[in-house]
């Protein structure tokens, strides 16, 4: 058999065979046989930069393999890459069994602007990074003090909420907060200078034109509550051109997969973090596809560990935007044969003084099929004050209602 494989996949195959005491020839044979016999759709593998790969196969298997690729309308390189990737997933490293293979990835998204994506992104990142133990105690006290009206808004009993937070494990984690929105709200709210247009940024790394190490772009939040664990990748206004840049790069570079651009850019950072939170742009374009793809469930990853968190408001235009986002997620799942977990809906900026408009809309959010409202964030002054002061909410008012709701979001996401 003579074909090609991406260098990283070749290396992973060699290491896994060495760890398991297997011959590459036997592994490749098993991989191709299993792949040919499988009937379920297999996610496409990024084969950018594929290099020569050859091994011996039993007589006739290579011809059978090529025939299957033709039937499935795949290149031989893609078919081999899918075979090897599936075999690696079925034969995990002894060193990694039972351990997560990547940081938790939370994509905070909604194509409607002004629903509070930045507020939620920053809040849950802070909740993951604050000193371990402090958040759990604050959260238990908060849930214990909720009024019956507040419990009704959440459509849960106090006992149900206490059960959700009983295994609250956030706190003390290394967190990367990514300003993926060219409007730069996140960077500005935290007092971090955005990256100038034309400089090295997330955009240049996504479009294959990096000018340096992406690690050099990361900024640490200097606050004792987070003890150096909370980091930010600042945004750039060049992100307004990201969709067109991704399309152009794909047109000029054969094998460039637009959807995996964010994952390729952030991959060098993943080993340094337990959680990565993406503050997404209000968009349904290619950049959003890349964000959704980054939050997909990876092989051997627990259901609900990573995925999309959707802030909304209790009014009709949010519902329309939500449906558009759900359609985009469904299309991406179908097109690329992947799964993107929904971590929940957060109803933000809730104000009961709006009467029937707010309460009826909240009821409709609770009735959304196959989705949970995991938190309702009231429209309170503390968040606006923290933004004005350019301080993290959980540092400015750590025991406030809004700070505890951020912890509740983390406790309930994916449950």
Task: Write down the domain spans for the chain.
Answer: 2-90, 104-412
pTM of the full predicted structure? 0.76
Which pLDDT score, from 0 to 100, does residue 34 have?
A: 85
Q: Which mean pLDDT values do the consecutive 10-residue runs of the chain (415 residues) have?
A: 88 86 86 82 84 88 92 92 90 65 92 90 97 85 92 90 82 96 96 96 95 96 95 97 93 84 95 96 93 92 93 84 93 93 93 78 86 89 92 94 94 80
Which pLDDT score, from 0 to 100, does residue 98 have?
A: 53
What contacts 372, CB < 8 A, 6 or more positions away?
Answer: 344, 345, 412, 415
Which residues on neighbouring strands pair with residue 376, listed in sequence order?
Answer: 347
Which residues on neighbouring strands pair with residue 3, listed in sequence order?
Answer: 53
| Topology given in CATH for the domain delimited by 104-412 | Rossmann fold (3.40.50)
**Among the listed residues 90, 75, 94, the one whose alpha carbon sits nearest the alpha carbon of residue 18:** 94
405: left (phi over 0), alpha (psi -120 to 50) or beta: alpha
Which pLDDT score, from 0 to 100, does residue 96 have?
A: 60
| Separation of alpha carbons 291 and 232, rounded Å | 17
Structure confidence by residue, pLDDT tens digits, 265-299: 999 999 999 999 999 999 889 999 999 999 999 88
Provide the 10 A C-beta neighbour count for residue 11: 11
Provide the 10 A C-beta neighbour count for residue 112: 18
Which pLDDT score, from 0 to 100, does residue 253 have?
A: 79
Provide the 10 A C-beta neighbour count for residue 415: 13
β-strands 104-108, 275-279 pairing: parallel
| 3-class secondary structure per residue, the chain | CEEEECHHHHHHHHHHHHHHCCCHHHHHHHHHHHHHHCCCCCCCCCCCCCEEEECCCCCCHHHHHHHHHHHCCCCHHHHHHHHHHHHHHHCCCCCCCCCCCCCEEEEECCCCCCCCHHHHHHHHHHHHHCCCCHHHHHHHHHHHCCCHHHHHHHCCCHHHHHHHHCCCCCCCCCEEEEECCCCCHHHHHCCCCCECCCCCCHHHHHCCCCCCCHHHHCEECCCCCCCCCEEEECCEHHHHHHHHHHHHHHHHCCCCCHHHHHHHHHHHHHCCCCEEEEECCCCCCHHHHHHHHHCCCCCCCCCCCCEEEEEECCCHHHHHHHHHHHHHHHHHHHHHCCCCCEEEEEEEEECHHHCHHHHHHHHHHHCCCCCCEEEEEECCHHHHHHHHHCCCHHHHCCCCHHHHHHHHHHHHCCC
Give the pair of three-digit tokens for residue 328.
Answer: 């985009």
């Amino acid at each position: 058999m003579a074909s090609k494989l991406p260098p990283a996949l070749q290396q992973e195959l060699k290491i896994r065979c060495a760890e398991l005491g297997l011959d590459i020839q036997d592994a490749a044979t098993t991989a191709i046989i299993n792949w040919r016999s499988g009937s379920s759709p297999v996610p496409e593998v990024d084969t950018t930069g594929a290099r020569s790969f050859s091994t011996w196969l039993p007589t006739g298997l290579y011809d059978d393999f090529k025939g299957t690729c033709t039937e499935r309308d795949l290149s031989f390189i893609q078919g081999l890459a899918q075979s090897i990737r599936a075999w690696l997933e079925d034969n995990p490293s002894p060193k990694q069994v039972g351990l997560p293979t990547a940081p938790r990835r939370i994509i905070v998204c909604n194509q409607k602007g002004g629903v509070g994506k930045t507020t939620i992104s920053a809040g849950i990142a802070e909740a993951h990074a604050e000193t371990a133990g402090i958040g759990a105690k604050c959260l238990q006290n908060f849930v214990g003090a909720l009024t019956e009206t507040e419990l009704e808004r959440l459509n849960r009993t106090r006992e149900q909420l206490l059960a959700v937070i009983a295994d609250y494990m956030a706190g003390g984690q290394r967190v990367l907060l990514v300003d993926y929105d060219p409007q730069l709200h996140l960077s500005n709210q935290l007092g971090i200078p955005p990256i100038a247009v034309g400089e090295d940024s997330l955009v240049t790394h996504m479009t294959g034109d990096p000018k340096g190490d992406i690690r050099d772009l990361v900024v640490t939040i200097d606050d004792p509550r987070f003890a150096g664990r909370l980091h930010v990748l600042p945004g750039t206004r060049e992100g307004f051109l990201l969709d067109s840049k991704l399309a152009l790069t794909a047109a000029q570079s054969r094998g460039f997969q637009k959807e995996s651009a964010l994952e390729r850019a952030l991959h060098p950072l993943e080993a340094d973090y337990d959680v990565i939170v993406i503050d997404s742009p209000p968009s349904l374009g290619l950049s959003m596809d890349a964000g959704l793809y980054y939050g997909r469930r990876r092989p051997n990853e627990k259901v609900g560990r990573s995925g999309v968190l959707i802030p909304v408001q209790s009014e009709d235009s949010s519902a329309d935007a939500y449906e558009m986002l759900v359609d985009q997620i469904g299309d991406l799942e179908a097109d690329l044969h992947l799964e993107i977990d929904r971590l929940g809906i957060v109803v933000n900026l809730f104000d009961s003084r709006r009467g029937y408009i707010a309460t009826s809309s909240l009821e409709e959010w609770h009735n959304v099929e196959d989705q949970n409202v995991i938190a309702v964030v009231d429209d309170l002054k503390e968040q606006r004050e923290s933004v004005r002061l350019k301080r993290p909410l959980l540092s400015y008012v750590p025991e406030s209602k809004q700070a505890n709701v951020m912890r509740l979001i983390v406790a309930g996401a994916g449950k």
